Amino acid sequence: MGVVQIVTAVIAFAYTALAIGLFVRAGLGMLALVRLGSPDLTRKGDRGTRVRTMLRESLGHTRMLKWHWVGAAHWAVFFGFFLLFPALAQSYFEVINPEWSLPIVGHWGPWLLVSELLTVLTGLAILTLFVIRMFRQPRAHRVPPQGTPSDAGQRRSSSRFENSRQWMAFYIEATISTIVLSHMAIRTFKVALGDIEHEWTSPVSSLIAGVWSGASEESLLTAITLVAGLDILVSWTFFLMLALIPSMGIGWHRVTAFFNLYFKRHADGAVSLGAAKPMLVKGEPADFETADPETDPFGVNVITDFSWKGLLDFSTCTECGRCQSQCPAWNTGKPLSPKKFITDLRDHLYEQAPYLKAAAIAKERGGAALSKDGVEIEPISIVGSVIDPDVLWSCTTCGACVEQCPVDIEHVDHILDLRRNMVMIESDFPAEAQTMLRNLENKGNPWGENPAQRLKWAEPLDFEVPIAEAGGDWEYLYWVGCAGAYDPKAQKTSRAVATLLHDAGVKFAVLGEAETCTGDSARRIGHEFMYQMLAEQNVETLNEVGAVKIVATCPHCLNTIGNEYEDLGGNYEVVHHTELLNDLVNAGKITPVEEHEGKLTYHDPCYLGRHNRIFTPPRELLGSFAEVTEMPRNSEKSFCCGAGGARMWMEEPIGKRVNRERADEAVATGANTVAVGCPFCSTMLRDGVADAGREDVEVIDIAQLLARTQEKKAEKASTAAAE
């Protein structure tokens, strides 16, 4: 053991001990900080299912592989990062004696081959990711300003990396590249020394090793020691960086992502969409009969009001920007970037970490409130200090961010929790939404129409629509919804659906005046109390009439009744009208024989598609009488119309209007008909198309298109009979 080996070994082992010590301390500190979040008892149970989900999504990269080449490259780096640890372990032998190797497998041919191929694959993968990042730099993808900006700023580029701290990504890419090159260099040195007996075990190294043909044995052995020492220092510097920068999510996610995947809302792996996360009090869904806003936080005001899962979310964000690239608010120049929203909260969390931990210790010991220079330190309210209000009100709750996130961060849930505190505690929300909330409270519908007019939509029908009663002769309860009952355009859809069901022999009934708003808009604007009040009234009514199967034309109603009423004792089988109508077409009870004239495109409603995974039935139904030309953003990646999250009832003064962006995309397909399956989407896209000056483009519900085919068929039959 020479001087070089002694010095290198001392430095390597000492540095390793330092890095491990600091990393473990930082990890324990992060755990302690996350545990300061409020309780969330809904994440318990289903351990076996959760483990399987975590392993499937992490080892299988099921979320990342949606992006094909990027996903495959990340998968290779993921496995390379963990499976090359044996090569790092070998470096410790090599700094002591360059001729040593791992016991048992060190000279085993299959291991040498696998480790070499894995090293090369990791190197190619990290190079691929580096090249992709360079080609997608924000400065290369500038966009013009869109409409009126806000104080919170506006996007400057279309790159998903805007607002990412890219030096961290470049540092990690450089680290992995250095480790790969050091492993390959050591292997070539050993091939040159003749330490590798068979070329097939090191095919790439054998091709390169010839460059060292003139080097002496002593110099090659020294080089092995030095490069092994470099490998150790570079590897553990990465962990030292994580210890020193706890907010380095792109590094920490290699640890925290496993836990974030395990504790996702749905144990079976479904994304956290559909039902809104209930407002929690003491870790359980709020019971407003016992909850006290004086002592129980309603929603989120300060950082520790977030659940521990929320704090874990913030710590896991990799700043990849996939959420941002799909966000309708971000794409139309609004101040909301889901990525920046999460990273701002994370930065605030770790800035406040010393005070939060000190306050927690003081509370445990029965001490007084934390103070500085004799002045009590008040917790910092997030809205206004950390997150601009315009950021929260820009969200349409479309769920594109949650759908895209590879580590299952629940952006929408956190936005809703902040809204809840603003609305129920601070009474701070857009003024125009006040009318909607007042109408819900007084009239049971956001339009403020007379509840006695709930059945007015059915008056033009040539048959009587039955009212649901307990024990009545009906199979489906037709949930008309507020839009279907009161909005003149949506009333046409209601009549089309009723007529189609009637002609197909489906026994159905409606609630009439007993129906009231499901509470979707109230819940998603943040008024959880009003939502529960409306929901409990509807559940009681539905249970009284014995509803089991429900058909709804509004995806928001479908989502609320089908996914959220269960928490209040309402268990129903809820289908969208396009699903039921498609079944009737397939069964031959409806025969759409007429072909649609002109080109047609279909817009996926967010609450039908992403939130409830209903993509195929509407397309199959349209395909029975028309050819569908898809927009570039469709299905899971469909672009929002701008109405969700109660934005239907708010003004949109910042940036380009979301509905105009989607209307432009629809018009660009060359379609003269835009088919929809949601009354909100219908209104928004109709306005967007008109704003684009394309009155020749019709926006219409699928049920109305199907009803037209039946009318044409009846006209032809009548004409033929007359002849």
Backbone angles phi, psi at 281, to 5 degrees: -130, 120
User: Residue 569, by phi and psi: left (phi above 0), alpha (psi -120 to 50) or beta?
Assistant: left
Residue 411 has pLDDT above 80, yes or no: yes
Q: How confident is the model at residue 370 (pLDDT cuts 50, 70, 90)?
A: low
Quickly tell me which residue has 């895209």 as its tokens. 404
d(CA 480, CA 508): 12
- Residue with the bigger pLDDT between 277 and 99: it is 277
d(CA 563, CA 572): 9
Question: Among the listed ranges 118-132, 299-313, 524-538, 590-604, which one has the minimum average pLDDT value?
Answer: 590-604
Q: How confident is the model at residue 481 (pLDDT cuts 50, 70, 90)?
A: very high
d(CA 701, CA 491): 11
d(CA 29, CA 391): 30
Backbone angles phi, psi at 321, to 5 degrees: 80, 10
Residue 365 has pLDDT above 90, yes or no: no
Mean pLDDT across the stretch 600-620? 97
- Structure-derived torsion over alpha carbons of residues 274, 275, 276, 277, reported in degrees to the nearest 10: -120
- Residue with the bigger pLDDT between 394 and 45: it is 394
Q: Is 510 exposed, middle or buried (0-12, 13-18, 19+ CB in 10 A)?
A: buried
Angle at 390 between CA 36 and CA 348, to 5 degrees: 25
d(CA 578, CA 553): 8
Q: How confident is the model at residue 484 (pLDDT cuts 50, 70, 90)?
A: very high
70-92 tens-digit pLDDT: 989 999 998 888 777 888 888 99
620-668 tens-digit pLDDT: 999 999 999 999 999 999 999 999 999 999 999 999 999 999 999 999 9
Percent of the chain with pLDDT over 90: 73
With beta carbons less than 8 A apart as the criterion, state whether 387 and 337 touch. no
Per 3-state DSSP, what percentage of the chain is helix, strand, and coil (rounded to 5)?
60, 5, 35
The bridge status of strand 573-576 relative to strand 549-552 is parallel
- Structure-derived torsion over alpha carbons of residues 248, 249, 251, 253, reported in degrees to the nearest 10: 150
240-273 tens-digit pLDDT: 999 999 999 999 999 999 999 999 999 999 999 9
- CB neighbours of 354 closer than 8 A, spacing ≥ 6? none
Six-digit token string for 512: 């009439």
d(CA 250, CA 246): 10
Q: Exposed e or buried b for every residue in 306-337, given b needs 16+ CB within 10 A?
A: bbbbbbbbbbbbbbbbbbbbbbbbbbbbbbbb
